[in-house]
Amino acid sequence: MTDELPVVLHVGCGVADPAKLPAQFFTPGEWRELRYDIDPDVAPDIVGSITDMSGIASASVDAVWSSHNVEHLYPHEVPVALSEFRRVLKPGAFALITLPDLQQVAELVAQGQMEEPAYLSPAGPIAPIDMIFGWRLPMAQGNLYMAHRTGFVQNSLKKAMDEAGFVGTQVIRDGQFALWAKGYAPLH
């Protein structure tokens, strides 16, 4: 990888693992990953919060990738974080965000399946209670970064992205308990 490659800012990167970048958007060898996390123990390139990304210059990255981070914020912090994502993007660059689809989760809750596994992640079973409040296993082990403080359905995530200044935002429900949002920084 060279410095000429486009830069994807991987927020909430966790422990280094190239498989954490979705290949359909970030082809290996065609992007340079800049790792950003609040937890210094995961050895990110930059330590910081997604509500204060002052350690990253404005209009300096080609993409922002955020997998299951925004739901860990309080509702009043969401616009701040999304605005930070937009701020660090070059004009016309994009942010790709995925997080739990609370509409699909609520359907299971309405069926009385709050604690029944909804799917099996590489780290173990995930139930609706985990998608609503945060993954219980790591929280019980003291990792309170895993607590969820807000949530979204398709239209509320689009509205939040639009209000943060993204343009051309599209949000899809993947049918596997996740929302995927892609929005662009304005060209000017």
- Report whether pLDDT(81) > 50: yes
- Report whether pLDDT(100) > 70: yes
Strand ranges of the sheet holding 32-37, from the earlier edge strand across to the other edge: 46-47, 32-37, 7-11, 61-67, 89-100, 178-184, 167-173
Rounded CA-CA distance 45/134 in Å is 26
Of 128, 133, 98, residue with least CA distance to 20: 98
What is the chain's alpha carbon radius of gyration, rounded to the nearest angstrom? 16
- Report whether pLDDT(96) > 80: yes
Q: Going along 28-177, which residue ranges are E strands?
A: 32-37, 46-47, 61-67, 89-100, 119-121, 124-126, 167-173
- Report whether pLDDT(20) > 70: yes
Predicted local distance difference test score (pLDDT) of residue 5:
92
| Cβ 83 vs Cβ 72: under 8 Å | no
**The overall pTM is greater than 0.85:** yes
Mean pLDDT of the chain: 94
Predicted local distance difference test score (pLDDT) of residue 149:
97
**Region 42-61 average pLDDT:** 96
Predicted local distance difference test score (pLDDT) of residue 155:
98
Per-residue pLDDT tens over the stretch 101-152: 999 999 999 999 999 999 998 888 999 999 999 999 989 999 888 899 999 9
- Report whether pLDDT(28) > 90: no
Helix boundaries (H) for 75-133 = 78-88, 102-110, 128-133
Q: Give the type of residue at 21.
A: L
- Report whether pLDDT(2) > 60: no
What angle do helix axes 154-163 and 78-88 make, rounded to 10 degrees?
Answer: 60
- Residues 158/15/130/25 CA torsion (nearest 10 deg): 30
- Report whether pLDDT(24) > 80: no
Rounded CA-CA distance 4/78 in Å is 32
Domains belonging to the chain, first-starting first, are 7-100+150-184 (3.40.50.150)
Higher pLDDT, 104 or 14: 104
